Amino acid sequence: MNSKNAALLVALLTLAACERNHTPAMLGTLERDRLELIADAQEQLVQQHVKEGAHVATGDILVELDHAASDARLAQARAQVSEARARLDELVNGTRSEQIRAARAQLAADDAQVLVESKEYDRQADLVKRQLTSQSAVDRQKALRDASVATQRASAAHLDELVNGTRSEQIDQARQAVASSEATVQSLEIDAERLIVRAPRPGIVDAVPFKLGERPPRGATVIVLLADDAPYARVYVPEPMRAQVTVGKDVSVHVDGTAQPYAGRVRFVSTDAAFTPYYALTQKDRSRLSYLAEITMTEPAAQELPTGIPVEVHAPEAEAGR
C-alpha cells in the first residue's frame, strides 16, 4: 500500500470515528421498579426478617410491627359476633314453654287481683253512699283497682307476645347485627395482617430505614424493594430525535463496560419537554429540549445488569450511520 492510499485510509477511519462520536444518542441510566412498603400503623418494629441486599420472593415476610393492641381489638370484635349470633338463635328458636307457662300464671294472678280490687271498690262505693266512709277512701280504692287492671293488660300482652313468637322484623334486625359484627372482625383481621409486611413481588431489599425497637410513623416507608425484573433504561430524548422515538420502537442500548449493545423497546415517551422556555422557541432553543423516555430491555441477558449504570440508547436510523 503506497503512502497516498494509506493516508486516504487513515482519513476515512478518522471520519468514521467522528461520525460515530457525533451520532445522536439518548443518555440515561439503568433503573428497576422501586417499591416502597409502608407502615399502616404507628407501632413498634418487633421483627426484622431480612437485611439490605437480600433476595426475597413473593409473600416473604420482611418485617413485623407490634400487634398486641390489634389482637385485643380483634378479640373484642369476635366476642361481639358470638353475642350477636346467640341473640339471633334466641329469636329464631322462639320462646321456651317454661316462659309461656310462667306468663300464664302471672296473668292468672293479675286477674285475681283485679277481681279483689274491683269488689273492694264496690264495697267502698256502697259505704260512701251510706255515709259510713269518706270519698277519699273510695278514690284510693278506685286507683288501686285501675292499677290492677293495667297490670293485668300488660301481662296479657306479654303472654300474647310469647305465644305469637318473634316478629320477622326483629329476626332481620338480629341478622343484620350479626353481619355488621362479622364485617368488623374482617376489617380488623385485614388491619392485623397489614402489620406483617410481605414482599408483593420478587426483588432485592434495597433499604431498611428503621431498626428493631423503633416506632415508624403511620405511612412511613419501612422497606424499599427493587423489583426482580429486567431493568429498563431511563433516558432523555434530544429534541432532534423526538420524531424518531415512539412507543413500541426497537432501539439498541449501549451499556458502559459491555462490548455488544442490548436490544430494547420504547415503552414510554413523555409528551412534555424537560425544558420549555416561556418565549417563542427558535431553532437554537428547540435543540435544547429533551423528553423523558423509558426503554424496556428485551434480552434475557439484561437481567443481570446492575441498577444505576450509565447507558447510551440509539435509534435504528442512527445505528445505520454508525
Residue 159 and residue 83 share a domain: yes
Q: Which three cell numbers stand for residue 74?
A: 380483634
In a domain, 12, yes or no: no
- Choose the final residue of a domain: 140, 161, 189: 189
Residue 181 and residue 234 share a domain: no
- Which CATH number goes with the domain that contains 41? 2.40.50.100
Q: Which three cell numbers stand for residue 314?
A: 440509539
Are residues 115 and 148 in contact, defined by beta-carbon separation less than 8 angstroms? no
Model pLDDT, residue 55: 92
Model pLDDT, residue 20: 43
In a domain, 218, yes or no: yes
In a domain, 128, yes or no: yes
Domains in the chain, number:
3
In a domain, 286, yes or no: yes
- Which CATH number goes with the domain that contains 306? 2.40.30.170
Which residue reads 432523555 in cell numbers? 236
pLDDT averaged per 10 residues in sequence order, the chain, 322 residues: 43 42 75 91 92 93 94 94 90 72 85 87 83 83 89 86 71 90 94 93 92 92 89 89 89 88 92 63 63 90 87 72 47
The residue among 101, 84, 100 whose CA lies nearest residue 92 is: 84
pTM score over 0.85: no
Residue 215 and residue 236 share a domain: no
Query: Cβ atoms within 10 A of the Cβ of 30, count?
Result: 24
Q: Which three cell numbers stand for residue 30?
A: 439503568
Beta-sheet pairing, 290-297 with 232-238: antiparallel
DSSP-derived secondary structure for 150-176: HHHHHHHHHHHHHHH---HHHHHHHHH
From CA 16, how far away is CA 136, in angstroms rounded? 130
Are residues 202 and 228 in contact, defined by beta-carbon separation less than 8 angstroms? yes
From CA 15, how far away is CA 276, in angstroms rounded? 34
Query: Cβ atoms within 10 A of the Cβ of 213, count?
Result: 9
Residue 111 and residue 77 share a domain: yes
In a domain, 29, yes or no: no
Q: How far is CA 227 from CA 33, 62, 308, 311, in A?
A: 5, 15, 14, 19
The residue among 322, 314, 302 whose CA lies nearest residue 254 is: 314
Residue 178 and residue 199 share a domain: no
In a domain, 43, yes or no: yes
- Choose the final residue of a domain: 177, 203, 227: 227
**255: phi then psi, degrees, rounded to nearest 5:** -105, 135
Model pLDDT, residue 315: 82
Residue 200 and residue 56 share a domain: yes
Residue 307 and residue 242 share a domain: yes
Residue 95 and residue 184 share a domain: yes
In a domain, 21, yes or no: no
Residue 163 and residue 174 share a domain: yes
In a domain, 25, yes or no: no
Residue 236 and residue 158 share a domain: no
- Choose the final residue of a domain: 189, 218, 253: 189
Residue 121 and residue 81 share a domain: yes
Domain hosting residue 56, numbered range: 34-66+195-227
Model pLDDT, residue 169: 79
From CA 189, how far away is CA 70, in angstroms rounded? 9
Which residue reads 503506497 in cell numbers? 2
Residue 115 and residue 168 share a domain: yes
Secondary structure letter of residue 81 according to DSSP: H
